[in-house]
Chain A
Amino acid sequence: MLSLLHSPKPTFRHLLIGDWFTIISCAIIIVFLFQTLWSHEHAAKVQIRIGDKIYAAYDLNQQRDIILHGPIGDAVIHIEQGKVRFVKSPCHNQYCVHQGWLVHSGQVAICLPNQISLELIGKQKPYDSLNY
């Protein structure tokens, strides 16, 4: 019993049972925090806005191309089993196309020249940093 108290690592013998309890419960809280605050929930729907109106919301569990008629021309988006991307856009800089696949809820792709935006929506809506 006494030999246990004189462990070779002198620093850690200061830890009492309650300290281990604190450390373990803090670790559990941290894991819980990571899970709740950093959850990258897969999206369920894509919401399309054209101009200042919500044009449509499509389910992501399908495979299809959608042609959108924006102010400067037709854009094509492609939905494929849980993800979505701009395929073709009449805009000059093609940022929206280069952004590639959107997967997680809360992700957005915006084509400013053509006034089209895609936003992925999960089961619950995450923080909206666009409207802020």
Chain B
Amino acid sequence: MQIQTNIDDHRIAKLAAFAIALHMVEAVVPSPLPGVKPGIANIVTLYVLLQYDFATAAWVSILRVFASSLLMGLFMSPTFALSLSGALVSLSVLWVAQYLPKRYFSVITLSILAAFAHIAGQLIMVRLWLIPHASVAYLIPIFSVAALFFGLINGLITARLLYNKAQKPEPDITEPKPG
């Protein structure tokens, strides 16, 4: 049996592979507090959102969550659930935030909002399922600081990547078809 794939599928697969690689690299990096992570895989999601469209970004993000959890053997574990809830809330915020006026709000705002949405999604999951206790609220300020810090850095990196891409657009197969 042969599944028919088009150029969009190839592009999504290629970009998702990037995101998975970044996710795996990050998984090795030790973290001072469980849950506080740079989230460098989100750079790919943001880049795709700005360069292509929301649907591609959503595909890349969700594929990244599933594939990297399978690779690390954490599929259907709490880690996976946190990752998925973070990604889903993050995507829904990005879906709204993409309509912000581009003249005033760059990808850096999107990155910060996505980072906050990510921890919000994770904390909701933690509160409802893993640690159903109000003391989870004590962690919110720490996670918020991490979200602002890493969201800003990821946003700056993404902005730089998009800027470089705009300066010298190189023709590759991932370029969307005209029309």
Contact = CB atoms under 8 A, between A and B. Distances in A.
Interface stretch (B72-80, B86-94, B104-112): B104-112
A-side interface size class? 20 to 34
Contact of A30 (B109, B137, B148, B163): B148
A29 interface: yes
The secondary structure that dominates the A interface is helix
A18 B105 CA distance: 5
> Which of B103, B133, B159 counts the most A-chain CB atoms under 10 A from its CB?
B159
Contacts, number: 71
Contact of B138 (A27, A29, A38): A38
B141 interface: yes
Interface string B93-107: 000000011011111
B148 A26 contact: yes
B145 interface: yes
A11 B105 contact: no
Interface of B: 100-101, 103-109, 112-113, 116, 133-135, 137-138, 140-141, 144-145, 147-148, 152, 155-156, 159-160, 163
Interface of A: 10-12, 14-19, 21-23, 26-27, 29-30, 33-34, 37-38, 127, 129, 132
